[in-house]
Amino acid sequence: MGWQGVNPATDFRGCGFVSLENLLFFARTYPASFKRLMLKQQGMRTTWEYPFAVAGVNISYMLIQLLELNSGRPKSLPGINFIKVLTEHEDAFDVLYCIAFEMMDAQWLAMRASYMQFKEVLEATRQQLERELSLEDLNGIHDLPACNLLYK
């Protein structure tokens, strides 16, 4: 599944078990997307692919930072818009995680990345999410343009 070591629990150090919850939500809610990404079934893949589960932990952490969820009140437009979306859709963070994972994989393929470029791909994903979460007409999580990447 793409863990760094023999004990998957150690991979959750950086983000806690919210990332495990995100992975489980992804698998249950969008099983076709989850399976396609986990098994790397689409696109020109490289020998040095990103480890799936560890990528998921990093995506959770990136989202928490981007949305300023560790602060009392977000000051950035993406964070403010996300709080509005969250009031309308209680699973918004989990759905955003799934969208971000799809976006990250699409970036990976577009950049023809290797394992050593993971941080660069994650940063490109963060920037794309930041743009989409800054849209003025964002009323719900499904209004994000990248939401169309998901399928059940």
Q: Does 112 reside within a domain?
A: yes
Q: How many domains does the chain have?
A: 1
Q: Does 9 reside within a domain?
A: no
Element (DSSP H or E) covering residue 145: none
Length of the chain in terms of residues written: 152
- What is the structure's pLDDT at 118? 94
Residue range(s) defining the domain that contains residue 143: 15-149
List, for residues 83-94, the tens digit of each pLDDT value.
999 998 999 999
Q: Does 3 reside within a domain?
A: no
Q: Does 7 reside within a domain?
A: no
Q: Would you say residue 4 has pLDDT above 50?
A: no
Q: Does 142 reside within a domain?
A: yes
Q: Does 6 reside within a domain?
A: no
Which DSSP letter does residue 136 get? T
Burial classification of residue 87, based on how many CB atoms lie within 10 Å of its CB (0-12 exposed, 13-18 middle, 19 or more buried): exposed
pTM reported for the whole predicted model: 0.88
List, for residues 90-131, the tens digit of each pLDDT value.
999 999 999 999 999 999 999 999 889 999 999 999 999 999
